[in-house]
Amino acid sequence: MGLLFATAMNDWPAQNQFDSNEFVQELRFYFGTKITKDVILKKAKSLSHEDAWRKESASSLLELLDLAETQYQEKNIEQLIGVIIEHYKESPIIADSINRKFISVYH
């Protein structure tokens, strides 16, 4: 899911966009305050060929929301982004097959 979000953010036609909060603000400005699949689909269908990057970004957002509905029953893009950020804040864990335990990569 993180990769889909990063792809959507990368495809959005804004220069030097690295801040997820700024990206969400741009999405709200463009799609409206409630960003749902229906809103994205409706807006994406009306985009011209000049807005190809927005279409690409919208496609990634739609795929992200589809996955979120099946995995997390989540339909709100802002809450979903929170889930993604929390996931990547967690310490990665690897399996130690010799001692049969899990260990944190950062410890």
Structure tokens at 42: 């409706």
What mean pLDDT, rounded, does the chain reach?
80
> Model confidence at 57, in pLDDT bands (50, 70, 90)?
very high
pTM of the predicted model as reported, rounded to 2 decimal places:
0.74
Cα separation, 58 vs 90, in Å, equals 28
> Model confidence at 56, in pLDDT bands (50, 70, 90)?
very high
Beta strand 101-104 with 93-96 is antiparallel
User: Which residues have a Cβ under 8 Å from the Cβ of 3 and sit 6 or more positions away?
Assistant: none
